[in-house]
Amino acid sequence: MDENKRKALEEAGWRVGSADEFLELTPEETAYVELKLTLANSLRDRRQAQHLTQVELAQRLQSSQSRVAKMEAGDPSVSLDLLIRSLLALGTTQEDLALILAP
């Protein structure tokens, strides 16, 4: 955020913080959300790199296009297991997963 904007908001009585602070997430919850978003973004990037549509990936996974869209958006209903299985279906190796997850 622009420093001048932050200062103006604070002077007007607003408190400026992070999403984690606003949602009162624990460090573990924050790490979980970040992990899920990292996997979701990687899934989208790898699907696009293989020139697959969401429909084509869904067929490969025996799922639906809407489910793939939810996976790529990091929807709360999508498990880490499903994200990892989907990445593996795209040919992601265990070594690739380690690199994706490495900080």
Q: Give residue 76's domain range.
A: 24-101
Question: In this structure, is residue 15 part of a structural domain?
Answer: no
- pLDDT at residue 26 in the model: 93
Question: In this structure, is residue 12 part of a structural domain?
Answer: no
Residue 22 C-alpha from the chain's centroid: 19
Residue 69 C-alpha from the chain's centroid: 12
d(CA 95, CA 91): 11
pTM listed for this prediction: 0.80
Question: In this structure, is residue 65 part of a structural domain?
Answer: yes
Question: In this structure, is residue 3 part of a structural domain?
Answer: no
Q: What is the DSSP letter of 54?
A: H
Structure confidence by residue, pLDDT tens digits, 36-94: 999 999 999 999 999 999 999 999 999 999 999 999 999 999 999 999 999 999 999 99
CATH number, domain at 93? 1.10.260.40
Q: How many domains does the chain have?
A: 1
